[in-house]
Amino acid sequence: MKTLKELTRPNVWKLKPYSSARDEYNGAQASVFLDANENPYNKPYNRYPDPMQRDLKAMLGAVKGIDPRRIFLGNGSDEAIDLVFRAFCEPGKDNVVAIDPTYGMYQVCADVNDVEYRKVLLDSDFQFTAQSLLTVTDERTKLIFLCSPNNPTGNNLLRAEIEKVLNNFEGIVILDEAYNDFSEAPSFLSELDKYPHLIVLQTFSKAFGCAAIRLGMAFASEEIIGILSKIKYPYNVNELTQQQAIETLEDYDVILKWIEQLKEERGKLEKAFLALPSVEKVFPSDANFFLARVTDAVKIYNYLVGKGIIVRNRHTVSLCGNCLRVTVGTAEENRILLEAMKQFEE
Ligand code: PMP
């Protein structure tokens, strides 16, 4: 395994980060703040937020059972995805490896950062082998992206293969667990001590019901979190988001109820979909959505749009010909979708 210094871009490794007013003084004793050129009026919006989100991380650490120093928070997990490229990949020189199909932002961030993106096609069960990823790596492969449950396929990746990647890859493994709350597979969060080069991504956008506030989480060693924190914008998570996230965590039982409800609805919706004449296959899902192969994805997608119902057409995505990706909604939303699907005529 390479050292973190060997994996980090040299300019980032030696970077002295910007030090904000709130980095330099963050004590609770002071009452007169004249250090950040803020406006003294218009409370509570006049003050910069805590750049390190200490209160929120303390709560999250307690909920997730992890040391707050191993948590990075960003403007969605998308920020963390972009930052790992900026931290570890030399544009025009380094490369990354990912499964295909998977979440589209890994490739977009690779392209933005001018980093070669090497895709390895999943098999017909949407599974992969560690070996197939490892054989396309070379000296300049810095990152491997895995997403489990995977988007858009909905299934968990095989744990034994994920472990093989973690045990055999020299670089950093990003395991995106955005949908893990809906799955029976345990998170890799408890494995961070075992795998010092693992970054686990989770998000407030799915099970936590907070997509609007833009809050993503990265969990890793204190050293990796230190590198991501060093290169982020100073105040990357705004005050309203931090407050709302704390309120959401205070009501954690509600989240657990949503998860149970959505899993139950997923089961019902999958079963009902299977019985539809226009549906050829429903792929098993461990997420809050499922992929269904239909007779004509483009036609059905457009038909549903005409009825004011929007699903995701994945027809042009690798291995997803004639597939629609359906998010599980409320019982009422699912009923409306099913009703429309029943009325569809070829
Ligand atoms: N990872 C996966 C696998 C996703 O599907 C998504 C959103 N669709 C994200 C990350 C992005 O999450 P966020 O809203 O936290 O940026």
pLDDT of residue 107: 98
Tens digit of each residue's pLDDT (9 = 90 or more) over 280-307: 999 999 999 999 999 999 999 999 999 9
User: Parallel, antiparallel, or unpaired: how do β-strands 279-282 and 289-294 relate?
Assistant: antiparallel
pLDDT of residue 24: 84
Query: In what order do the strands lie in the sheet containing 323-327?
Result: 279-282, 289-294, 323-327, 312-313
Exposure string for 237-250, b = 16+ CB within 10 A, e = fewer: bbeebbebbeebbe
Q: How far is residue 16's CA from residue 284's CA, in Å, rounded to a whole number?
A: 48
Sorting pLDDT into bands at 50, 70 and 90, what band is 88?
very high
Residue 59: pLDDT over 90: yes
Q: How far is the CA of 101 from the centre of ligand 1 (A)?
A: 14
Q: 106 CB under 6 A from ligand 1?
A: no
Span 72-91, average pLDDT? 98
One-letter amino acid at 86 equals R
Tens digit of each residue's pLDDT (9 = 90 or more) over 300-342: 999 999 999 999 999 999 999 999 999 999 999 999 999 999 9
Q: Give residue for tokens 């968990």.
A: 156
Contact at 8 Å (CB) between 152 and 324? no
CA atoms within 13 A on the CB side of 54: 6
Q: 176 CB under 6 A from ligand 1?
A: yes
Neighbours of 189 (CB within 10 A): 18
Enter the pTM of the model: 0.97
Find the helix or strand (DSSP H, E) in which 119 lies. Answer: strand 116-121
Q: Give residue for tokens 């407050």.
A: 243
Q: How far is the CA of 200 from the centre of ligand 1 (A)?
A: 13
257 contact partners, CB below 8 Å, separation of at least 6: none
Find the helix or strand (DSSP H, E) in which 230 lies. Answer: helix 222-231
Q: 248 CB under 6 A from ligand 1?
A: no
Q: How far is the CA of 78 from the centre of ligand 1 (A)?
A: 7
Among 101, 159, 77, CA closest to 283: 101
Q: 288 CB under 6 A from ligand 1?
A: no
